[in-house]
Amino acid sequence: MSEFTSSFWDYFVGVITLVSIAACGLLLWMQSTHRASGSETSGHVWDEDIREYNNPLPRWWMWLFYLTIAFGFLYLLLYPGLGSFKGTLGWSQITQLEEENAQAQAAFGPMYERFAAKDVVALSKDPEALAAGQKLFLNNCAQCHASDGGGSRGFPNLTDRDWLWGGTPEAIKASITGGRTGVMPPMGEALGGQGVKDMRHYLMQLSGNAYDSIRAAYGREKFVVCAACHGADGKGNPALGAPNLTDKIWLHGSGEEIAETIARGRTNQMPAHKDLLSPSKIHLLTAYVYSLSAK
């Protein structure tokens, strides 16, 4: 913003503010007595015969007016409000947020420290830790993985035993901390239109679904290019995030979507949380996620 404005306007606004407040005080002082012409009314007449009495206000009321003026000056001295002057207390919305965060840290920090001292498997059986972990999960993970951790299309189900990147506590913690990027390269050009369809039949065979045996056999011949990641037996590779193709779990859909995945590839991302959550929170979340499938 500072490129577009000059500090002239800060002074302009500041001077107008101060002069206005001072003028209010001056007006009040000048108006606290007046020369009356013996008349009891203010001289204003409404609706032909309604007049206003000039009854005095209580003196303490006048002091309240002066008090508000003093308050105004004091406020502008202590808090930001006068042009770009920051106020002597140094208060801002940012400092308030930081203070509140520090208070929350002081209030909840000991609980997280206590949980951080236990290992993930033990925590995953501790009801108190799971209750706290569930709150973290609902606030940070449920948007994609659903409130029950069951996921939806494109977002892995965390409640089953099928893990793209491994289901050990260490692997789960690494997924949350650093995130994951799973890339399936497009194979449409390499396989050709018919080759993609054949491959789909082979995958149906691998996962125990209905398939055309001749076309599956064609697909099987070409599976060698897939085996680099998914393994010769198609059971996947957690080091690469390559899914197991022999179960009935299809992250991106089990119908025609499979052909699309083969032809066009997929890039799927789990964002890193190391900058969003403290290590002790990630530890607790790991235990909660681990508990979802450990039942």
Partner 1 sequence: MKVDVVELYEIRKAIHPRDVHGWFAAWRWLLVWATQLVFYGAAWLPWNGRQAVLFDIAHRKFYIFGLVFWPQDIIYLTVLLIIAALSLFLFTAVAGRLWCGYACPQTVYTEIFMWIERRIEGDRNARIKLDASGLSLKKFILKAEKHGIWAALALWTGFTFVGYFTPIRELGAEVLALRTGPWETFWILFYGFATYGNAGWMREQVCLHMCPYARFQSAMFDKDTMIITYDGARGEPRGKGAGRSDQRGDCVDCSICVQVCPTGIDIRDGLQYQCIGCAACIDGCDQVMQKVGRPKGLIRYSTERALEGKATRILRPRVLIYAAILAGIVLAAGAGLWLRVPLKVDVIRDRAAISREVEGGLVENVYRLQVMNTTERARSYEVAVAGLPAGALASEPRVHVGATDSRMVPVRVRADRALAGQGTHDIVFSIRAVDDENVAVQEKSVFIVR
| Rounded-to-integer distance, Cα 194 and Cα 223, Å | 14
Q: Which is nearer to partner 1, 32 or 269 (CB)?
A: 32
Nearest CA among 295, 292, 279 for reference residue 146: 292
The helix/strand/coil state of 110 is helix
Query: Residue 179 or residue 192: which is nearer to partner 1 going by CB?
Result: 179
At its nearest, how many Å lie between partner 1 and the CB of residue 249? 9
Nearest distance in Å: CB 147, partner 1: 4
**Whole-angstrom Cα distance, residue 118 to residue 83?**
53
CB of 270 to partner 1, least distance (A): 14
Which residues, including other chains, have CB under 8 Å from residue 173's CB and lie 6 or more apart?
Answer: 120, 282, 283, 286
Q: Applying CB under 8 A, which of residues 14, 80, 87, 150 lies at the interface with partner 1?
A: 150
Which residues have a Cβ under 8 Å from the Cβ of 263 and sit 6 or more positions away? Answer: 186, 187, 188, 191, 196
Of residues 54 and 194, the one with the C-beta less far from partner 1: 54
When asked if residue 135 is in the footprint of partner 1 (CB under 8 A), the reply is yes
Least distance from partner 1 to the Cβ atom of residue 36, Å? 4
Interactions with partner 1, residue window 5-64 (CB under 8 A): 31-38, 54, 56-62
Decide if residue 267 touches partner 1 (CB under 8 A): no
What is the spatial distance between Cα 149 and Cα 138, in angstroms, rounded to a whole number? 9
Report if residue 144 touches partner 1, rule: CB under 8 A: yes
DSSP-based three-state secondary structure for 82: coil
Kindly report the number of other CB atoms within 10 A of residue 33's CB atom: 7
Nearer to partner 1, 6 or 143 (CB): 143
The footprint of partner 1 (CB under 8 A) covers 31-38, 54, 56-62, 134-135, 138, 142-153, 155, 248, 253-254
